[in-house]
């Protein structure tokens, strides 16, 4: 236990140095290099200590790794699903050979160091005191999610409340599940669970653009679902059954590959990366041609090919508008379009070539009402929790408590069985 305590001290020192000393002592790319070196020392120290204590943190449980991958993909899928209704945003990471060589190790090495050390600490936990110790380990890694400047900004009750809901509680839920995975299956299991969402965030060209309140609730709920599934899956008879089921489902790989490809195309198309963008009609200005709830497929097209009678989508300072072209002025290459909604009595302001987003190819009737209904639900939920912080804290607290109870319930199964036998 003293050796494992040394790991905690080492991680804490590295965390403080990388947050307080390196940003002021180094400049430019040397900051990344210094961080990589420090976190690499954590990896080396953890591996040496695991060999010294004979802790099998590198021994992989294939079934638990598969479960971790399923839960990580499920958690990512929930965010993507909500983003179909709440919107996507472009990833700020732009990868080229130079940034990939420097910045990617800067992201990857701390992740590996964190999960290796988490596995070492979790595997050393006595089974008799697992619940409280695993909770303390989870809290330890949760505090390292935010940088020290974030903590220094917590100067008002409102800032503290926002930090707890936005960062701390969701991070604790994720950390609890990752620690539980490390406790049951070692380094490879917790790394799988943490790496899949991380790689999606690093490399996906578009990312979910969800309000932080909704994202916090979603993260906590997904982690709790993971605890419930993992709690049931780790029962000896059931884990064998899951392993057999996973083997049978390997023959369905083409089917699931097709599902992933379809989902990827849907995500990319919603951001316009594939050359077309589905847009939900939210007003009746184009009735009867397009009604509220219809989905219009907008295709990027050269403005020179737009003709009178085409329906185009263009951007204004306040919104996106989809109206019919009733006139074109100006010379080729600098066209100005006159548009008007079919149900409107007057034309719009002139539309410059730079404002045009694309031309409507076809519409799908009524399908957008699903998105409208979901958006309305989440908007009302968002408003409710932002105006009632007490309910938000209570809900998130219940979710995290349920996660902690799942750990306690699983680890004390033999004790409950013994009590029932003695009662008889």
Instruction: Answer yes or no: do 201 and 306 share one domain.
Output: no
Instruction: Answer yes or no: do 179 and 307 share one domain.
Output: no
Reference 60, options 184, 245, 215, 199; nearest CA is: 184
What is the reported pLDDT for 260? Answer: 52
Instruction: Answer yes or no: do 10 and 107 share one domain.
Output: yes
Domain assignment present for residue 261? The answer is no
The number of domains in the chain is: 2
pTM over 0.75: no
Reference 170, options 400, 418, 361; nearest CA is: 400
Encode pLDDT of 97-135 as tens digits. Answer: 778 887 888 889 999 999 999 999 988 877 665 677 888
Instruction: Answer yes or no: do 211 and 78 share one domain.
Output: yes
Instruction: Answer yes or no: do 32 and 128 share one domain.
Output: yes
Encode pLDDT of 282-323 as tens digits. Answer: 788 888 888 888 888 888 888 888 888 899 989 888 788 889
C-alpha–C-alpha distance, residues 172 and 245, integer Å? 31
Domain assignment present for residue 358? The answer is yes
Domain assignment present for residue 334? The answer is yes
Reference 14, options 139, 136, 113; nearest CA is: 113
What is the reported pLDDT for 405? Answer: 60
Domain assignment present for residue 279? The answer is no
CATH of residue 318: 2.10.109.10
Is residue 120 within 8 Å of residue 45, measured between CB atoms? no
pLDDT by residue, tens only, the chain of 424 residues:
566 678 888 898 998 898 888 888 888 888 888 999 999 999 999 999 888 888 888 888 888 888 888 888 888 887 877 776 666 777 777 777 778 887 888 889 999 999 999 999 988 877 665 677 888 888 899 888 877 777 777 777 777 777 777 788 888 888 988 998 898 888 999 999 999 989 988 888 778 777 776 777 777 777 777 777 776 666 554 445 545 555 554 445 555 555 555 555 555 445 555 556 777 787 888 888 888 888 888 888 888 888 888 999 898 887 888 899 998 887 666 788 989 998 888 888 888 888 888 888 888 787 666 655 666 665 566 556 555 555 555 665 665 566 556 555 555 554 444 444 444 4
What is the reported pLDDT for 387? Answer: 58
Strands 351-352 and 276-280: unpaired
Instruction: Answer yes or no: do 219 and 309 share one domain.
Output: no
Q: Is the peptide bond before 311 cis (omega within 30 degrees of 0)?
A: no
- In which domain, by residue range, is 111 found? 2-234+388-423
Domain assignment present for residue 412? The answer is yes
């Amino acid at each position: 236990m003293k050796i494992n305590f040394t790991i905690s001290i080492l991680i804490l020192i590295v965390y403080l140095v990388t947050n307080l000393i390196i940003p002021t002592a180094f400049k430019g790319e040397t900051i990344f290099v210094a961080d990589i070196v420090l976190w690499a020392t954590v990896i080396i120290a953890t591996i040496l200590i695991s060999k010294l204590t004979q802790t099998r943190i590198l021994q992989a449980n294939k079934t638990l790794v598969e479960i971790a991958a399923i839960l990580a993909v499920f958690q990512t899928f929930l965010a993507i699903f909500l983003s179909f209704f709440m919107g996507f945003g472009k990833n700020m990471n732009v990868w080229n050979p130079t940034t990939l060589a420097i910045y990617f190790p800067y992201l990857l090495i701390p992740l590996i160091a964190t999960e290796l050390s988490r596995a070492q600490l979790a595997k050393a936990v006595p089974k008799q005191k697992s619940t409280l110790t695993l909770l303390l380990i989870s809290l330890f890694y949760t505090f390292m999610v935010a940088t020290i400047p974030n903590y220094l900004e917590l100067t008002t009750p409102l800032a503290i409340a926002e930090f707890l809901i936005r960062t701390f509680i969701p991070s604790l839920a994720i950390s609890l599940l990752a620690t539980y995975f490390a406790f049951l299956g070692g380094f490879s299991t917790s790394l799988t669970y943490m790496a899949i969402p991380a790689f999606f965030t690093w490399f996906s060209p578009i990312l979910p653009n969800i309000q932080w309140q909704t994202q916090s609730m979603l993260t906590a709920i997904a982690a709790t679902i993971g605890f419930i599934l993992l709690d049931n899956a780790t029962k000896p008879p059931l884990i064998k059954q899951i392993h057999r089921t996973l083997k049978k489902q390997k023959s369905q790989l083409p089917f699931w590959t097709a599902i992933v490809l379809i989902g990827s195309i849907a995500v990319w198309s919603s951001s316009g990366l594939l050359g077309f963008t589905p847009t939900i009609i939210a007003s009746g200005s184009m009735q009867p041609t397009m009604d509220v709830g219809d989905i219009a497929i907008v295709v990027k097209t050269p403005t020179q090919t737009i003709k009178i009678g085409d329906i185009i989508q263009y951007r204004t300072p306040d919104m996106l508008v989809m109206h019919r072209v009733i006139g074109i002025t100006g010379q080729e290459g600098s066209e100005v379009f006159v548009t008007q909604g079919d149900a409107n009595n007057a034309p719009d302001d002139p539309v410059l070539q730079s404002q045009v987003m694309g031309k409507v190819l076809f519409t799908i009737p009524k399908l957008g009402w699903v998105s409208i209904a979901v958006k309305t639900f989440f908007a009302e939920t968002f408003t409710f929790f932002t105006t009632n912080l007490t309910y938000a804290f209570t809900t998130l607290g219940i979710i995290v408590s349920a996660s902690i109870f799942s750990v306690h319930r699983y680890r004390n199964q033999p004790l409950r069985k013994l009590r029932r036998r003695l009662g008889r």
